[in-house]
Structure 1
C-alpha cells in the first residue's frame, strides 16, 4: 500500500499542512484537497529527537501548531516489521510517526480520487 500511496502522492507533493488537530491520541493533518487522521499512538520527531508525543503534555496541541505551514515530502514505512505503520516526512527535518495499535482504530489518508485506510488487521500490512 505504501508504494501505491507514493505513486499517487508523487504528482501532488509537497502537500502543505494548513490545519492540525490533536486531541489525546487522535491526530489530524489537513490541507487543500487532502487530509490525514490517525486514532492510535503517534509521535513527532525532528532530526531524530522526539519533540511531541500524542497526549504527552498539556501544551502538546500548542506545540503541534508548529507543523502548520510545513509540507509533506514523502511517506515511508515506520518499521520494517509492521508495514502498516507510517512515517510521514515533513519539511525542515520533521517526521510524524504512526504506530497502529488496534484494528478498529485505523489511520486514514484522503487525496483527490483516493482514500487509503491502514489497519494492523489488514493482511497487506504483514511484513
Structure 2
C-alpha cells in the first residue's frame, strides 16, 4: 500500500456514521468507530456536524498509514496537514475497507 501513497482526497461521502473518502482510483470506507484529530479539528463518528466536518478533509493527501503490525489492526491514516484518522474496528461485521487499483484491503477486529 505504501507504494500507492500519497493519495489525494477528492470527495467525501457521509452515510452517518459511515464515511467514504474518495480519490482518483481509490477509496477508504470507515464502517466502524473512527476519530479525526488534526490542526483545528477534532471529531468522530458520533459528531453532530459530521457532514460539515468531513468536508474539511477534501483536498488533503493521505501520506502514510500507521499500525501496530502488518495486519493493520486499528490503523491510523495520516494526512499531509498532520490530521490523523484513527480507526477502531469493534466487530468483523463492520470493518474498514480500502480499495486501490491493484489491492482491496478489509480491516478486522483485533482478537
Normalising by structure 2, we get a TM-score of 0.87
Alignment length, in residue pairs?
110
Which structure 2 segments of 5+ residues have no match?
Answer: none
Task: Tell me what 2:66 maps to.
Answer: 76
Could you give the per-residue CA deviations for residues 41-94 of structure 1, whole angstroms, max 9, x where no partner exists?
Answer: 0110015x861111311x2211111100000000112x67x9511100001110
Q: Is the 8 A contact 1:25 1:42 kept in 2?
A: no
- Counterparts of residues 83-102 of structure 1 (less than 5 Å): 83-102=72-91
Distance (Å, rounded) in 1 between the aligned partners of 2:93 and 2:7? 27
Structure number with higher helix proportion: 1
Q: CA RMSD for the aligned pairs?
A: 2.1
Task: Specify the structure having the higher radius of gyration (Cα).
Answer: 1
User: In the alignment, which of 79, 85, 103 is matched to residue 114 of structure 1?
Assistant: 103
The one of 28, 31, 34 equivalent to 1:39 is 31
Query: Aligned to 1:20, what secondary structure does the other structure show?
Result: strand
Structure 1 segments (4+ residues) deviating >6 Å = none
Task: Flag the 1:15–1:63 CA change in 2: closer, same or farther, 3 A.
Answer: same
Q: Aligned-pair distance for 1:99?
A: 0.5
State the shift of 1:107 in Å. 0.8
Offset at 1:23?
3.0
Q: Do the aligned partners of 2:72 and 2:107 also contact (CA within 8 Å) in 1?
A: no
TM-score w.r.t. length of structure 1: 0.77
Contact 1:23–1:55, Cα closer than 8 Å, also in 2: no
Are 1:65 and 2:65 counterparts? no
